[in-house]
Amino acid sequence: MFIRFQIVLLFLTLRLVAQQGDEAGQAMNPVVPGSQIPASPVLSVEDSLKSFQLPAGFVIEPVAAEPLIDKPVCLDFDSEGRMWICEMRDYMPDIDGKGESVADGRIVILEDTDHDGRFDKRSVFLDKLHLPRALAVFEDGLLFIDEHRLCWVKRAGDLAVGDPQPLPSNFAESGNVEHKPNGLLANLDNCYYLAKSDKRIRRTSDGWVIEPTEFRGQWGIARDDFGRLYHNNNSTLLFGDLLVPNLLQGNPGVKIKTKDFVQLGSDRVWPSRVTPGVNRGYVAKSNGFESDTLDPQTYKLKSTTAAAGMAIYRGTNFPKEWYGTGFIAESVSNLVKAIRINDSNGISNGSHPLGKVDFLTSTDERFRPVNVYNAPDGSLYVVDMHHGIIQHKTYMTTYLRNQILSRGLDVPGSGCGRIYRIRHAAGSLESVWDIRSLATGDLVRLLAGANAWQREAAQRLLVSRNDFAAVPLLATLANEGAPLARIHAIWTLEGMAQLRADHLVSAVQCTDAKLQSSALWASTRLSSAELAAMEQVLLGVNPVADEVVPYLMRALGPLGTAKGFDRMGELLKSHGLVRFVREALVSGLNHHELEFRNSKLRDSRDTQLLAWLEQGSADSNGSVQYGSPLKGDELASYQRGKAWFHGEAACFGCHSADGNGIANLGPPLDESQWVTGKSATLINILLHGLVGPVVVDGETYHPAAAMPGLSMNPAFTDQSIADIATYIRNEWSNHASAVSADFVKSQRELTRSRAGRSWTAGELKD
């Protein structure tokens, strides 16, 4: 359905004639003259190093390469500083993806035994995995994600103990290889977050807990010092959340639609080589299109089409001005982007610190950066899959197929892979040692260090160790010292289930906005008894900056007391125009909506706030009915449509599993007049596509490209299109009539002359 602009599953049974990603009726004439395209041989590591360009003072050097690794896509460091790596060896073994269904992926461990900065020992931890794409190392086991499962496997050192055990979840059941959960990022709040997912994971003494969170990203996820998350999609380099996770999701009965993230920087890229090997490289004004994918003068990609994994640099090697900068891999244009993040009073924006030059570029077309990481030594690591084919067969066009074959990028099908370290020549690298050997007190002191990797590893070890001797040390640190160390101490106590009200008092009363916000956030994790003990302190908190107000409002709501309501009412009057304050109020008032409304909002004209509170109170009283009201054949159609939406059609890839849309890709479907309005309008869009701009609920959306239709795709019958329509018209908050296959058939006949040509919003309104 509303599919990412690369996606149209055409001529599925005619691969020798056309690729699945082709769009009907499009000419794919090459734009770049053949004489301008250099060859793309497999370069040695030494020759690849000559292809790189970096800002003055920075150095790139290999830390691992083939044959030690093969098609790496992600990594995690254990407490010894060793790398655990997912090798996606079964990804696109050839131009047609033959053999990709055979589980040939591995998780391997690399170790630097002589401490010379290059890894020299390889151990296979798990093999015969199907397209592994995320992992998180624990002292007693490994959490990982492959094509269909979220798994836990115990370990004894380097050896797996028993078989991987899938966690009970429909975690990765839908989508294709480019639309599956990945990331497994350990965050400040002791939860693990993912890209391409609306779930988070936490390990407790009782096992694994999987909770809902906001849907984020596509490939790769990162965090900053304060627990805010960063993500992207293929056509947008970097988004940054403005709030910590789930701050506005404390009231499950209310669906609050608010954009709590921003795009950081532009999507412009500046490769150092011509880039004809782009899936839509033929899109050019010279070929009759309205825009150019490649710059017509330089033949280089203008805007990202394959933004991938990222990191917010928080190490100790780079010059100080680089701390907090976002580094994003872009595999199609063979570069790593730097975006300087500026944060003022909780509002972020991004800029390109190097102007019209990217941080790391390469003239080697096989350089495929797919992930970036902060390393234990304070440097930045870049994962290079080093595979000639980076576009999956599902979306590959005939144009790109020809580009790949013309330069032999389809071979070798495996056997290559590199990981590079980027450091600054003027900075020092920290020693890497096994921090498990540290005594508990030393681990607590490490929370105050300058190296973010060490701080975060120490927090995880303390939580895992659960040594009660750490509690008084952490309590002291939570009340004294630098703000960042105090933040880590608070959340380490929370992870150990030892957080108490008195650990937060001085922090919520401090004058540092980030520490105050984090302590208020942590107060929402207190037990009922500890929260009651915290009431007088919370009532007296004065936010030191506007960015703190949503956190204070969220913390006050669970009190559920008259004095708490009074303080919330005061904040609503004095700071009601501060961004996210009303949403945070509703989030914190779970089960207290009517009490607050009746005591503080009797004369309010804030219809949105009142509606949210009404919605929440209805849910609290059990009067909200969940699930589809459809019955019989219509319910069966709804269920089939759900499978299409989350499966082969991959509609969620642009519109999100929750129907709220994805920035720069697809507008929201939930409560959209385009979905719940006239059936004919929706079916016309499904059949022939839609090109932006499009207005939904008063907001104008500008998707990066046209949404292609399904009418030219034999895989989608009248019945399957009807099923998709029925599903989205009755999912989330939507309630509209079902659509029949006969109705789709009639609309197909009425509009056959369009032959897959996308509608404009204006045409459909007429």
Rg of the chain over all Cα atoms, to the nearest angstrom = 26
Contact at 8 Å (CB) between 714 and 737? no
pTM > 0.85 = yes
The two three-digit tokens of residue 490, written as one number: 């608070």
Supply the pLDDT for residue 431: 94
With a pLDDT cut of 90, the percent of the chain lying above it is: 72
Confidence class for position 714, pLDDT limits 50, 70, 90: confident
Supply the pLDDT for residue 570: 97
Supply the pLDDT for residue 729: 93
Segment among 11-15, 91-95, 482-486 with least mean pLDDT: 11-15
CA separation, residue 726 to residues 27, 639, 649, 733 (Å)? 34, 9, 14, 13
Q: Is the confidence at residue 10, as pLDDT, over 50?
A: no
Question: Angle at which helices 607-620 and 593-600 pack, to 10 degrees?
Answer: 140
In 3D space, the residue among 410, 403, 435 whose CA is nearest the CA of residue 301 turns out to be 403
**Predicted confidence (pLDDT) per residue in 727-763, tens digit:** 999 988 888 899 998 988 898 888 888 766 778 888 8
Contact at 8 Å (CB) between 275 and 332? yes
Supply the pLDDT for residue 7: 34
Q: Is the confidence at residue 629, as pLDDT, over 70?
A: yes
- Is the peptide bond preceding residue 30 cis, with omega within 30 degrees of 0? no
**Predicted confidence (pLDDT) per residue in 561-585, tens digit:** 999 999 999 999 999 999 999 999 9
Segment among 216-225, 300-309, 315-324, 638-647 with least mean pLDDT: 638-647
- For 31, half-sphere exposure in the C-beta direction (CA atoms, 13 angstrom radius) is 28
Confidence class for position 703, pLDDT limits 50, 70, 90: confident
Confidence class for position 628, pLDDT limits 50, 70, 90: low
Q: Is the confidence at residue 13, as pLDDT, over 80?
A: no
Q: Is the confidence at residue 3, as pLDDT, over 60?
A: no
Q: Is the confidence at residue 636, as pLDDT, over 60?
A: yes
Rounded distance, CA 490 to CA 495, Å?
9
Three-state SS annotation for 662-676: ECCCECCCCCCHHHH
Contact at 8 Å (CB) between 375 and 453? yes
**Predicted confidence (pLDDT) per residue in 530-555, tens digit:** 999 999 999 999 999 999 999 999 99
Supply the pLDDT for residue 627: 59
Q: Which residues contact 186 (CB under 8 A, 6 or more apart)?
A: 136, 192, 456, 460
Helix, strand, coil abundance in the chain, percent, nearest 5:
30, 20, 50
- Average model confidence (pLDDT) across the chain: 91
With a pLDDT cut of 70, the percent of the chain lying above it is: 94
Q: Is the confidence at residue 706, as pLDDT, over 80?
A: no
Q: Is the confidence at residue 84, as pLDDT, over 50?
A: yes
The two three-digit tokens of residue 703, written as one number: 């998707």
Supply the pLDDT for residue 28: 86
Rounded distance, CA 620 to CA 114, Å?
61
Confidence class for position 227, pLDDT limits 50, 70, 90: very high
Confidence class for position 175, pLDDT limits 50, 70, 90: low
Q: Is the confidence at residue 134, as pLDDT, over 80?
A: yes
34 burial class (0-12, 13-18, 19+ CB within 10 angstroms)?
exposed
Supply the pLDDT for residue 626: 52
Supply the pLDDT for residue 619: 73
| Dihedral sign of CA atoms 342, 348, 349, 352 in order | positive
Rounded distance, CA 569 to CA 573, Å?
6
Supply the pLDDT for residue 382: 98
Supply the pLDDT for residue 755: 67
Strands 689-691 and 759-760: parallel
Rounded distance, CA 556 to CA 576, Å?
15
Supply the pLDDT for residue 766: 55
For residues 22-49, give the mean pLDDT: 89
Q: Which residues contact 627 (CB under 8 A, 6 or more apart)?
A: none
Rounded distance, CA 468 to CA 485, Å?
19
Supply the pLDDT for residue 156: 96
List the domains of the chain with CATH numbers: 34-424 (2.120.10.30), 500-624 (no CATH), 632-765 (1.10.760.10)
Rounded distance, CA 754 to CA 442, Å?
70
Supply the pLDDT for residue 444: 98
In 3D space, the residue among 182, 179, 310, 134 whose CA is nearest the CA of residue 662 turns out to be 179
Contact at 8 Å (CB) between 308 and 328? yes
Supply the pLDDT for residue 15: 35
The two three-digit tokens of residue 36, written as one number: 């301008």
**Predicted confidence (pLDDT) per residue in 327-385, tens digit:** 999 999 999 999 999 999 999 999 999 999 999 999 999 999 999 999 999 999 999 99
**Backbone torsion region of residue 523, taken as left when φ is above 0, otherwise alpha when ψ lies between -120 and 50, otherwise beta:** alpha
Supply the pLDDT for residue 261: 95
Q: Is the confidence at residue 665, as pLDDT, over 60?
A: yes
